[in-house]
Structure 1
């Protein structure tokens, strides 16, 4: 409906265009805790679209730790970390995380997005260069743009292209930024080869391990999975995926962390996360360290899904991780198939451009899933494979 305000009319037209392209985003209200099942509009749905890979988001141990911290520290931290908001649970979490990884120091951020913005803009700027995989998360891309450094993107996992960029660069300081596990494809970055290039061309290697920490490397993440250590490495783990809480931690050499504490604006100029989140996150680290049984259950569900879709009409990307994308021909097909699964009690997210270059269902698995849950998803996918629009 037209209004006296042309700028609002233009937005309404733009939204109508998104509707026509099956690209408009809308939120769904969840009425329950995260888990293998979610309550939506009074109906239970099997959850195949969350990132709670180890099933810790509603774990009793995390609830107990958070409640105890609320009793001791209240609800809000009251200030930024550098004023008076850095409470004992924050300090304990940073130390525990660094110790768990075997790295000298760590620094907490309120979100993974803020961590990427803070780290990259603190380390590179005008006269520098940052080199990024084309399938990197949006937060890495935004950080690279905001850094004002030369921003050079290379084709996904194309080491030869990256080396050409590095060899041609005359930048004062260089930084390579990659996801360790790519959030929409589920595949792994070749971190050992990337680190070799960083060594050869005197660059930092910044690893966003949002989807690897807690799952790979016996829980210690992608650096442990690949057996890597180097002062050039900067390591990020977000806490909203396998850890089951919120926020992010960056680990590396002590001098690096001290620099970030002084220069990472997204860590300096924001109120600290509640102490309860830090306490719950520390409790989760204990469960992750002792959580091989959870990781084995997750691997079993991954194998079950991949085996069940082998030889079908569905195109399943090559992934050994909890992220199992099914490529589709159009955004319309992705939305229709997601809705058809929802009608059968299964929630699988339809991911469309511009988030990804090609539409897909992004199936995510968890240690909380039972064999019968994945069997139900497979049965529905098999049923829908021959239907129009599937």
Structure 2
């Protein structure tokens, strides 16, 4: 191996990350994802932790009937799909999953991808090209940003959740096009439904209005909304009681507790993506057993809306407990509760001290959030007890006050 050349590619970046407290490493979890887990500590010992860091918001991964259903699907369908969906990989569980996603989301049709990341990248780059305009919220997820880059469309970033600024950038884009005498572009507004680091929500009713008034297509990524928002967990439109976006993207790896991503909308949209989305066409299909598990888990959510309400109740209890302890947080409309620390090094210290005391909440730092906006990102489950949440709130407050 040519170590000198490898160093030129990697060494400076790693040293800089260590110096500015943005170096990342993985922790080892020795038990399944749930509200309590065992973590391998730096000294090699295992320690039980209250997990306030999971995207498995409804804690479905450990329900016996759902685990047994997936095990049975493996026995029936094997461990892999054997090909891309357009060759030999398309199996009955894939079709059943897409049909149920469409029903659950209240859409005509759905198409699945291997990950939510692939759904965003493949959809945006299929819908738009180099002569088109995309209007993107400044806090959108990396998968949306990468999809925009791959599309080669002209990107206009608007201030976070600021509809007046969105209208401004649309008008500026139109003015620049008119002055250049270019043909009329396709126009796409794209936004997260729940912003993953702040936990706040996109203003869907206003986005629908702006999109209609300006002849834009509207795409919403419901990665952190499906299974979380709305009375029955169907997402942002159910939360607001309004119409759906033109294109709804989501993931099956968070509240649904399986793997994969999806796009839901009109039949014409999903047929288009089957023919034009490179991240759908040029990849082996997800294992049929995984598709079956995702479908079973979605059916469970559909049959147990009280699970969604339990999550909502826990978020309120935790935010109230933090405020009683003197920690400045707002009541989160989602399952994500950001506790802003500011300094990157201090955020890492708080997270490390929490872990020493049996509470796992990661420190989120630049470049995931802006410099000086480092935070603890607490994410809650429907199965956390009030005792666990009160213990976590009290411990967080004590550690922050001492630093």
User: Is TM-score (shorter-chain normalized) higher than 0.5?
Assistant: yes
Candidates 383, 387, 390, aligned match of 2:398 = 383
Cα deviation for residue 63 of structure 1 reads 1.1
Cα deviation for residue 352 of structure 1 reads 0.3
The alignment status of 1:339 with 2:352, answered yes or no, reads: yes
The alignment status of 1:223 with 2:222, answered yes or no, reads: no
User: Whole-Å Cα distance in 1 between the matches of residues 118 and 269 of structure 2?
Assistant: 17
Aligned-residue CA RMSD (Å): 1.5
Query: Bigger CA drift: 118-127 or 160-169?
Result: 160-169
In the alignment, is the contact (CA less than 8 A) between 2:366 and 2:374 conserved in 1?
yes
User: Whole-Å Cα distance in 2 between the matches of residues 265 and 207 of structure 1?
Assistant: 20
1:236 corresponding residue in structure 2: 249
1:102 corresponding residue in structure 2: 106
| 1:148-297 paired onto structure 2 within 5 Å | 148-168=152-172, 169=174, 170=177, 171-217=184-230, 218-229=232-243, 233-297=246-310
Candidates 314, 321, 329, aligned match of 2:334 = 321
Candidates 72, 78, 96, aligned match of 2:76 = 72
In the alignment, is the contact (CA less than 8 A) between 1:317 and 1:327 conserved in 2?
no
SS of alignment partner, residue 303 of structure 1: helix
1:25-75 deviation per Cα after TM superposition (whole angstroms, max 9, x unaligned): 101111111101122122211110010111112222221221111111100
Cα deviation for residue 10 of structure 1 reads 5.8
Candidates 116, 124, 132, aligned match of 1:128 = 132
SS of alignment partner, residue 5 of structure 1: helix
SS of alignment partner, residue 101 of structure 2: helix
SS of alignment partner, residue 386 of structure 1: helix
User: Whole-Å Cα distance in 1 between the matches of residues 239 and 61 of structure 2?
Assistant: 24
2:180 corresponding residue in structure 1: none
In the alignment, is the contact (CA less than 8 A) between 1:313 and 1:385 conserved in 2?
no
Q: How many residues align?
A: 385
The alignment status of 1:23 with 2:22, answered yes or no, reads: yes
The alignment status of 1:362 with 2:392, answered yes or no, reads: no
Query: Bigger CA drift: 37-46 or 130-139?
Result: 37-46
SS of alignment partner, residue 401 of structure 2: coil
User: Whole-Å Cα distance in 1 between the matches of residues 309 and 106 of structure 2?
Assistant: 23
In the alignment, is the contact (CA less than 8 A) between 2:327 and 2:397 conserved in 1?
no
Cα distance change of structure 1 residues 4 and 145 upon mapping to structure 2, 3 Å threshold: closer
Cα deviation for residue 228 of structure 1 reads 3.0
In the alignment, is the contact (CA less than 8 A) between 1:36 and 1:369 conserved in 2?
yes
1:89-143 deviation per Cα after TM superposition (whole angstroms, max 9, x unaligned): 0000000110122211100000010000110011000110100000000110111
